[in-house]
Structure 1
Amino acid sequence: MIICHTLNLIFFKTKKTGSTSFEIALSRFCGSDCVITPITPANEEIRRNKGYRGPQNFRDTIWPDGTGSSGKFYNHIRAEEARHLIPDQVWRDYQKIAIVRDPFDAAISRYYWEGVERTGLDFGQFIDAHPEYLAESAQIAPFDGPNRIDRHLRYETLAEDVEALGLEGLWDDFAGIRAKGGRRPERGASCEELYTQFPAAAEIVEAQCAAEITRFGYRNPARS
């Protein structure tokens, strides 16, 4: 995650949404007092090669007003947990953002990311065994409630949504970064074909991710 005092912006890092690449690109705007949590060594190398700031101020953070927090920010910290570490004024005044992705598509990426296709589990078995994975991003960056964030950037329209933030060069930089890529095969069954083959998996995703499906109009591919 990133807390950028330069931009009055807090970025919560959801899963399987391109958030690592976005985080690297956003680092270019950060100053010495901003919070930047660590990512993998390979992705830190990408960030370092671009000349951007790396991990800093994520433990026992000192805030611009001189107050401090005793605790630790980390990669996929939930908004609820982060709020306990962030001063009320910062939480209130900063824009809180995250990336949201069609949960049916994100579940497929998570399947390949975990590598479970090599263990003999098919996609349907994976979803049935790990429904808790499906709701993780909504828990990191809630849509409603006291810890809700202000703005969700849609993975499917990310160019437009990033440009709407008004940060010059952010999209071009982000588009040129391919962090954590390469696990999902470029060829293979489409989203519709996979969920038609495993309709029970589609029902599980629909139940676990009802909030974002309703809010953003995502559809069950098994019913298309």
Structure 2
Amino acid sequence: MVSSYYWANRDREKLPDFKSWCLSNHRLVDRNHRQYFIGDQCVIDHFIRFEHFTEDLQDLEKKFPALTGVANLFAGMTAKKGVRPKSGPSLVELFSAAPEVDRLIRKRCRFEIETFGYQGPRLEDT
């Protein structure tokens, strides 16, 4: 959701309030589910995650040797680079100011959190 927030607002001079933007765009939280679920059944055999992109592609190459070289084709890809500002609020600061958004993500992305072992930021008391 943080990446979506920065991407959607990349051309704005001033960023909107994170909490308000996320709650107004809550449909984005679980938008990938329609791509890998049919009903309640996950139909994906192999996930490729941005944070483990090369490693996951290499694992796919091992499973399907005909795909050897795919990881090299994507080695220079920078799909999520340069959009989030180098300075600004941390994840902890963003979500501490928006605990409703944190709860929404934890609820609607439970599959990803449990499947991939994701952990959200430890929120500060505000």
TM normalised by structure 2 equals: 0.74
One-letter code aligned to 1:216:
F
**Inter-partner Cα distance in structure 1 for 2:109 and 2:21:** 16
Larger radius of gyration: 1
How has the CA–CA distance of structure 1 residues 198 and 180 changed in structure 2, closer, same or farther, with 3 Å as cutoff?
closer
> Any unmatched runs of 5+ in structure 2?
62-66
**Aligned counterpart, 1:148:** 43
CA RMSD of aligned residues (A): 2.7
Aligned-partner residue type, residue 8 of structure 2: E
SS at match of 2:37: coil
* Cα distance between partner residues in 2 of 1:198 and 1:204: 10
Verify the 8 A CA contact 1:117 1:123 in the aligned structure 2. no
Q: Does structure 1 residue 111 correspond to structure 2 residue 5?
A: yes
| Higher fraction of strand | 1
Q: The residue matched to 2:7 in structure 1 has which SS? A: helix
Amino acid at match of 2:16: L
1:189 maps to 2:89: yes
Residue 170 of structure 1 is matched in structure 2 by 70
Tell me which of the two structures has the higher relative contact order, counting C-alpha pairs closer than 8 angstroms and 6 or more residues apart: 2
Which whole-Å deviations, capped at 9, do the CAs of 1:93-147 have from their partners, x for residues lacking one? xxxxxxxxxxxxxx111001111893663111111111111111122122851x6
Point out the structure with the larger helix share.
Answer: 2
Distance in 2 (CA, whole Å) between partners of 1:213 and 1:185 is: 25
Alpha carbons 1:206, 1:213 under 8 Å: kept: yes
Work out the CA distance in 2 between the residues paired with 1:204 and 1:171.
34
Q: How does 1:1-150 map onto structure 2 within 5 Å?
A: 107-115=1-9, 118=12, 121-142=16-37, 144-145=40-41, 148-150=43-45
Count of aligned pairs between the two proteins: 117
Which one-letter code corresponds to 1:112 in the other structure? Answer: Y
Distance 1:153 1:201 in 2: 25
Q: Could you tell me how far apart the structure 2 residues matched to 1:175 and 1:187 are? A: 26
Q: CA deviation at 1:202?
A: 0.7
Alpha-carbon contact 1:127-1:204 (below 8 Å) kept:
no
**In structure 2, how many angstroms separate the alpha carbons of the residues matched to 1:116 and 1:122?**
14
The letter for the 2-side match of 1:113 is W
Q: Deviations over 1:47-90 (max 9, x none)?
A: xxxxxxxxxxxxxxxxxxxxxxxxxxxxxxxxxxxxxxxxxxxx
Which runs of no fewer than 5 residues in structure 1 stay unpaired? 1-106
Match of 2:99 in 1: 199
**Does structure 2 retain, via aligned residues, the 8 Å contact 1:131–1:208?**
no
Identity %, equivalent residues: 32
